[in-house]
Structure 1
Amino acid sequence: MKKKLVLESGEVFHGNGFGADQEIEGEVVFNTGMTGYQELISDPSYCGQIVCMTYPLIGNYGINRDDYESIEPAIKGLIVKEVCDFPSNFRNQMTLSEFFQKRNLSGISGIDTRRLTRIIRNSGSVKAKIVNENADENSVIASLKNTEFNTDQVARVSTKTAYASPGRGLKVVLVDFGSKLGILRELTQRDCDVTVVSHDITAEEILLMNPDGIMLSNGPGDPQDVKGATEMIQKLLGKVPVFGICLGHQLIALASGAKTFKLKFGHRGGNHPVLDLKTNKVAITSQNHSYAVDQESLKNTDLEETHIALNDRTNEGVKHKLYPCFSVQHHPESSPGPEDSNYLFDEFIEMMEQFKVKDSSI
Structure 2
Amino acid sequence: MSETTESSVMPAADAEPSTRMNMIQAINSAMDVMMGRDPDVIVMGEDVGYFGGVFRATAGLQSKYGKTRVFDTPISECGIIGVAVGMGAYGLRPVPEIQFADYIYPALDQLVSEAARLRYRSAGEFTAPITVRSPFGGGIFGGQTHSQSPEGIFTHISGVKTVIPSTPYDAKGLLIAAIEDNDPTIFFEPKRIYNGPFDGHWDKPTQNWSQHPAGEVPTGYYKIELGKAKVVRPGEALTVLVYGTMVHVALAVMEEAGVDAEVIDLRTLVPLDIETIEASVKKTGRCMIVHEATRTSGFGAELSALVQERCFYHLEAPIERVTGFDTPYPHSLEWAYFPGPVRIGEALKKIMKDA
Superposed pair shares fold, TM > 0.5: no
Structure whose alpha-carbon radius of gyration is higher: 1
Under a length normalisation based on structure 1, what TM-score does the superposition of the two structures give? 0.30
Higher RCO (Cα < 8 Å, 6 or more apart): 2
Greater fraction helix = 2
